[in-house]
Structure 1
């Protein structure tokens, strides 16, 4: 969910996915009627009706416990009535069919209770982890003397507990320091690495005079986190990151640690791709033959600087086409940062047919003196 919403996963949304009582009744009665009609046409009604033994199992996979109980009772009653309607055919195997229907119905109810309990537990864990992450990712927009930053943050919630995208901004004595990053992997181990980077950034952004010193502090934080993770037999993580320093001049200092490139939207909807080269991600710095380099580019007044994670750049349509970010940026140019990022996020969701494939963080920055109301 986007940062402006901020709510954890809602159990009501999962309940809404279950079929209504009316839909379930229509489905059960329709299937039973179909079996009865086929039985009458083929003369094998009693044997076909025993297929209802599988009906509660299907209900257990999608319905509530109460709905599964109703379905199990319906199946058992339908088989029992068939035996009473054809007493001359009540052989031992038909009694076995009735017994199996009752047993499978009971097992289906137990299975449904287990499934719903597991879903509720996952929702609680997901909500807790999301709340933990949102407690350290400050709500947008953020403003310093140099820049206004606004954007959209949406962690992937399907099949995962929490996202690994991070961002922050610090008004240091040396200018505004900006961080956007993406932790490898998902779940609670990934958020642990995210916490480590965010904490190191907030402390080192005010201490380190140079941007290289700040990035070195972030590298050390990831290395320490990985050492602790290795002792606990957890996988090590690396973090792609883009770190900026924006002061009162029009030139921005930047170090890219394997992160997607920033974009600059200028007058006339011109879009420039900045920082063609990127160094290794945080946590892999020891593999680099040389120290990370500081890049520089112009960020004049009246322009917008866009930062994002690969949840936006690698969003795909159903046919596998990548989201045309540069084209959409040109189309949405001229909007304030908040509106620009929300428009890009909405465009990417539409482009991907509503299927979110990864965590998404989209940030837009403009010079503070030129900031409009988001």
Structure 2
């Protein structure tokens, strides 16, 4: 599951993975995404968004348990991109994204994630991890564990870091191009048959310099910047 929302608090991103498959898992996806689409706009901080997701999931799983007993959970990464380009995140059992730029490939953070959403209560104090800046032209690659766990016929894992390193050397590229090349490499590795569900989201900071000024001023009288984030996903 994944979603990107432009809000007054910044661009907010959710990517996650539901335990299980089939109709039951689709219902869980719908419950989590529906909650995020409202909470992303309503809640002033990421901790509030995560608590809303946790409550929505608890309600859904409680209703589902009457017909389908069992323990389900969702890994979830919540990411916030502030208008000034600063990044913060709350990670519940999900792989950390990679940040690509100037030929470099780095994990967005190295902090230990919280447990997945569902089986355990959330901590009383949810403090987002500060992940530094998202400079103009840089790219974020978010993914589910089906990407790094994908194997070829010999049982070798998909070389995600090496593949991203090759893509970083080709920047700047449209996020659609980065996504297509990454997904094509994954399909080649698995001969077109990934064994697990896969989700990929690519975000690029498209902040650009623009000229602005008082009415009647020339275009060169003042300068400002406009933030923007361009997503692509599969």
With normalisation by structure 2, the TM-score equals 0.83
Which structure's CA Rg is the greater one? 1
Q: Which among 177, 181, 184 is matched to residue 346 of structure 1?
A: 184
Determine if contact 2:105/2:161 at 8 Å carries over to the other structure: yes
Root mean square deviation, CA, Å: 1.9
Determine if contact 1:200/1:221 at 8 Å carries over to the other structure: yes
Q: Which among 265, 286, 293 is matched to residue 127 of structure 2?
A: 293
Q: What displacement does 1:229 show?
A: 1.3
1:215 match: secondary structure: helix
**Distance change (3 Å), C-alpha of 1:264 and 1:180:** same
Determine if contact 2:87/2:130 at 8 Å carries over to the other structure: yes
In the TM superposition, what are the counterparts of 1:79-98 in structure 2 within 5 Å? none
Q: Greater RCO between the two (CA within 8 Å, min separation 6)?
A: 2
1:282 match: secondary structure: coil
2:199 match: secondary structure: strand
Measure, in 2, the Cα distance between the counterparts of 1:373 and 1:200.
21
Q: What displacement does 1:289 show?
A: 5.8
Measure, in 1, the Cα distance between the counterparts of 2:123 and 2:39.
24
2:86 is aligned to 251
Q: What displacement does 1:249 show?
A: 1.4
Measure, in 2, the Cα distance between the counterparts of 1:322 and 1:270.
22
**Distance change (3 Å), C-alpha of 1:290 and 1:228:** same
Measure, in 2, the Cα distance between the counterparts of 1:308 and 1:291.
26
Which protein has the bigger strand share? 2
With normalisation by structure 1, the TM-score equals 0.53
Q: What displacement does 1:234 show?
A: 3.7
**Distance change (3 Å), C-alpha of 1:359 and 1:205:** same
Residue-pair matches, total: 207
Measure, in 2, the Cα distance between the counterparts of 1:319 and 1:291.
45
Measure, in 2, the Cα distance between the counterparts of 1:191 and 1:373.
23
Q: What displacement does 1:292 show?
A: 3.9
